[in-house]
Structure 1
Amino acid sequence: MRTPSVYIAEELMPYLRARIAEILYREGLRQARIAGYLGITQAMVSKYLGGNYKRPPVDVASLLDSLAEDIARLILLGASRDEVVAFTSRKLFELFSSGKLCGHYSSYAGVSEETCRALFSSAMVGGALEEMKLALRELLSLPGFSGLIPEVRSNLAYAPPGAKSPADVIAIPGRITLVKGRPYALPPEPGASKFTASLILAVTERNPEIRSVINVRLDAKIKKALSKANLNVVQVKTGGMSDEEAIDVMAKLFEEKTWDAVLDEGGEGVEPLVYIFGRDPLDTVKKVKAILGVMG
């Protein structure tokens, strides 16, 4: 029987480990250290770096390439092995539960795609809170992030699969603020935001691929950095609108196109802000890092 666990072990993990090894090696990690993180021998790392591994179909490889980048970033950030294993397991589960891997798995195992989806649809995707904690830790460590925090302060929000209301959205209680010039945040928790949570829920309803958002300051320097970072941006002006109207205006932008950032010029009594969107908190933080990287 070719169960999902066998499929993961035989078809996904060799390629995923190889891509992680390539990224870590490119970042300067030694083969022995890479082997320790991946739980394989140094000889196997050398084999992977030599390109000696099986490649899955292009669409599956694309999904795993993205996951490998996230896992490598966690390792480089200093995440523990327990955190890396938990994160990898959650992400693979999400790829199954969303149906993205079911087409390939059904061919591999000789079962229907409906059977594949049924295997995962009854289980809840756990660990979203831990994922937010990892993303927040990276965000707060970014050099220059304090300069992006607006007067109204920032919030990072995540609507995990199954989120139905703001009470299900994980965010930062009291938002991210500055304490003695440094960014500070309480641990994330469900139901900690109203506006940001409602915004990401409305966007996710239009585009299920987008599940995370953070708001930062908007000025000429940041606007220029958004362009230099090659992010897809769109501009709106919500001054004079109610929260519900502003959310509806921004969410409708995602009905036909995926945007990395929405620039809200604000208006009377409304501070100009940038809302940066991602498929998950780590993806959102990655875009913040890209902006800071080109600001100089």
Structure 2
Amino acid sequence: MSLVHPSELVADRVLPTLRAMLARRLDERGATQQSIAGHLGVSQAAVSNYLGGDVQLEPLVAENADAQASVERIAAGLDEGEYDGYDVLADLVSLVTTLEDRGPVCELHEREMPELRGLGCDLCVRGLDREAERERAVLASVRQAVRLLSTTPGVATLVPNVGTNVGEALAGADAATDVAAIPGRMYTVNGRVEVPADPEFGASKHVATAVLAAASVDSTVRAAVNVATDDTFLRRARDRGLATLEFDADYEERGEHLRERFRAFGRVPAVAYHRGAFGVEPVAYVFGESAVDAARRVVSLVGDDGE
């Protein structure tokens, strides 16, 4: 794992880009290289490099609207004598904070530390807190579940045409944005389960609907995997003593319908399924306390009797 502090990226990538942008804007306003060097606190040779294109700009910063507006504001203030060094620093500090708050600095940080992807990280702004820790735990659970499903032989045969997803909700979740899942769902390619992206919160409406319905009835059930409705799979579940429950596919308010079915059943079943409807593919939801728990349940029911 590469350990990169965001301040390193600000020093190495952001500030050189902002200095080069500011030098070029002041040059366009007719400032001399000597005066530009004085404003930026660098040598005249450095200014020459900025203006000559020898300093490579970071596109994420150079093309950012906030960065462009700040550079224009600072250049105008210096050119018109309304800004001194304190004003420039204050403007840059404010800009860097904006760029760090889930902006370009976050994207640069994710490139350097892929472990941060999908976390909605705002460490630069808030620091580590309990909510961030809970989100990380849920995302890690979904990633582990995905690895389990994508590497287990036989799971691909259960992936419906609409794709498979894995979802896990935060404790107390009440909206799809509180449920982490795979953007775009998982599909099969040449008999293998392909995972298009890392998990994110709010990435799935359908699996989130099932997860939220289950959690509202039993708060310990916070995850689900959707698979194709398969009679052999359902039989294996029943043979193992797992509860299965059929529900209506052609129901407008699926979340509320599932809640009503679960309450009438007296609990959240291990598997809830429907047989499809016009334009609706038959799908089953396998529930668990976590994404890993739900994925393990799916894996345990794949080909366990030699079929």
How many Å separate the matches in 2 of 1:238 and 1:133? 28
Residue 200 of structure 2 aligns to which amino acid in structure 1?
Answer: E
Amino acid at match of 1:214: V
1:1-296 correspondence to structure 2 within 5 Å: 123-124=130-131, 125-127=134-136, 128-185=138-195, 186-239=197-250, 241-242=251-252, 245-255=253-263, 256-296=266-306
The residue identity in structure 1 corresponding to 2:175 is S
RMSD across aligned C-alpha pairs, in angstroms? 2.0
Whole-angstrom distance in 2 between the partners of 1:254 and 1:234? 8
Instruction: Write the letter of the residue equivalent to 2:207.
Output: T
TM score, norm. by length of structure 2: 0.53
What displacement does 1:295 show? 4.7
Runs of 4+ with deviation above 6 angstroms:
none
C-alpha displacement at 1:226, in angstroms?
A: 2.2
TM-score when scaled to structure 1? 0.55
Give unmatched runs, 5+ long, in structure 1.
1-82, 84-121
| Contact 1:177-1:184 at 8 Å conserved across structures | yes
Distance 1:258 1:194 in 2: 19
In 1, are the aligned partners of 2:245 and 2:273 still within 8 Å (CA)?
Answer: yes
What amino acid is the match of 2:262?
F
User: Residues 241-293 of structure 1: CA distance to partner in whole angstroms, max 9, x if unpaired?
Assistant: 22xx2222222233321310112112222111111100101110111011114
Q: 1:189 & 1:295 partners in 2: Cα distance? A: 35
> 1:292 is paired with a residue of what secondary structure?
coil
**Any idea what the Cα deviations from partners look like across 1:17-56, whole Å, max 9, x if unmatched?**
xxxxxxxxxxxxxxxxxxxxxxxxxxxxxxxxxxxxxxxx
Q: Contact 2:234–2:244 (CA<8 Å) still a contact in 1?
A: no
1:220 Cα deviation (Å)? 2.5
CA distance in 2, matches of 1:165, 1:234: 24
Instruction: Write the distance in 1 (CA, Å) between the matches of 2:135 and 2:220.
Output: 18
For structure 2, the residue ranges without an aligned partner over 5 or more in a row are: 1-114, 116-128
Following superposition, the deviation at residue 191 of structure 1 comes to: 1.1
- Whole-Å separation in 2 of the counterparts to 1:154 and 1:123: 30
Letter in structure 1 aligned against 2:178? D
Q: What is the count of residue pairs matched by the alignment?
A: 173
Change (3 A) 1:162 1:219: closer
CA contact (8 A) 2:149 2:295 kept: yes
What SS is found at the alignment partner of 1:146?
helix
Contact kept? 1:238, 1:265, Cα under 8 Å? yes
Residues in 1 aligned to 2:174 and 2:246: alpha-carbon distance in whole angstroms: 27
Residues 288, 249 of structure 1: alpha-carbon distance in 2 compared, 3 angstrom cutoff: same
CA distance in 1, matches of 2:290, 2:230: 25
1:193 maps to amino acid: S
**What do the CA deviations read for 1:38-83 (whole angstroms, capped 9, x no partner)?**
xxxxxxxxxxxxxxxxxxxxxxxxxxxxxxxxxxxxxxxxxxxxx9
Distance 1:177 1:235 in 2: 24
Shift of 1:217: 0.8
Judge conservation of contact 2:167–2:208 (CA < 8 Å) in 1: yes
Shift in Å, 1:126:
4.3
Deviation at 1:163, TM superposition (A): 2.7
